Amino acid sequence: MSEVMLRLAGIEKVYNRDAVNEVRVLTGADLALNAGEMVALVAPSGAGKSTLLHIAGLLDTPDAGTVEIAGTDMTGLSDRRRTIARRRDVGFIYQFHHLLPEFNALENVLLPQLANGVPRGEAETRAYDLLARVGVGARADHRPSALSGGEQQRVAFCRALANEPRLLLADEPTGNLDPATSETVFETLVDLVRGTGLAALVATHNPALTERMDRVLRLDAGGLTAD
């Protein structure tokens, strides 16, 4: 049986708790995501999918409930230990690539590894290998401004996988691309996930992408249900 890589139990998140306009974004969301599994997260705009992803990725804390990654309860950890766990175990991909403009493609994939204590030589080798794997190895010395949108997002994929995370969280990873580029980039994402065996939770509005996931979960009224 596959290992449960991410488990959310009873997750609640409320904004403006002490104000008149209280917003209950998550009201007991539960999720179990297995290693090697790609799950689509679909939700109406404003339903809280980004909040859910941020909580799952230890960028935010829930008001109630627990977050487990690879069997370890992350909920009560200090900020420092959460940062270490996030850097070690979680990769993020966003709709907008958020590459550092002053660094080239190789350096953007190199920096997370150096921050995680990987020796520079080993980090450079892995960065080159990842870039080559997604077809942008020849563009390693180019800054983001010299790359196409699809190339930038592929570099962002490599950056997310640079530290060999066990959990990948993607928030509309192809939402800023034209349909043809979106298809190519999504194929790259699937190949990377399938090739590494990590667990992936992918928020998307694209029905063509959700059809190719292992499961689809819908976030509505603060909870998660199978679609």
On the question of pLDDT at 180 being above 80, the answer is no
Q: What is the CATH number of the domain that holds 115?
A: 3.40.50.300
Helix (H, G, I), strand (E, B) or coil at 59: coil
- What kind and span of H or E run contains 91? strand 90-94
Q: How far apart are CA 182 and CA 187, in angstroms?
A: 9
pLDDT of 19 reads 61
Number of domains, the chain: 1
Strand partners, 201: 39, 169
pLDDT surpasses 70 at 1: no
Going by pLDDT thresholds of 50, 70 and 90, the confidence category of residue 118 is very high
Q: Which of 85, 111, 93, 63 is nearest to 154 (CA)?
A: 93
Query: Could you tell me the residue range of the domain that residue 193 belongs to?
Result: 37-62+75-226
Alpha carbons 133 and 152: distance in angstroms, whole number? 14
Please compute the mean of the pLDDT values over residues 103-132 and round it to a whole number.
92
| Mean of pLDDT values over 142-162 | 89
Q: Is residue 122 part of a domain?
A: yes
Residue 92 in domain = yes
Q: Across all residues in the chain, what is the average pLDDT?
A: 86
- Structural domain includes residue 1: no
Does 101 map to a domain?
Answer: yes
Amino acid at 115: A
pLDDT at residue 142 greater than cutoff 90? yes
Q: What pLDDT is attached to residue 12?
A: 92
For residue 194, the surrounding DSSP H or E stretch is: helix 179-196
Q: Which two tokens stand for residue 142?
A: 């180019």
CB 202 within 8 A of CB 38: yes
Give every CB contact of residue 125 below 8 A, 6+ residues apart in sequence.
none
- pLDDT single digits (tens) 46-102: 778 889 999 999 988 898 999 999 888 988 888 888 888 888 889 888 877 789 999
13-34 burial, b if ≥16 CB within 10 A, otherwise e?
bbeeeeeeeeebbbeebebebb
Query: What is the pLDDT averaged over residues 182-193?
Result: 77
The pLDDT value given to residue 17:
63
173 pLDDT exceeds 80?
no
Asked if residue 13 belongs to a domain, the reply is no
Higher pLDDT, 30 or 205: 30
Interval 5-56: pLDDT, tens: 999 999 998 887 666 677 778 888 899 999 889 999 988 777 788 899 999 9
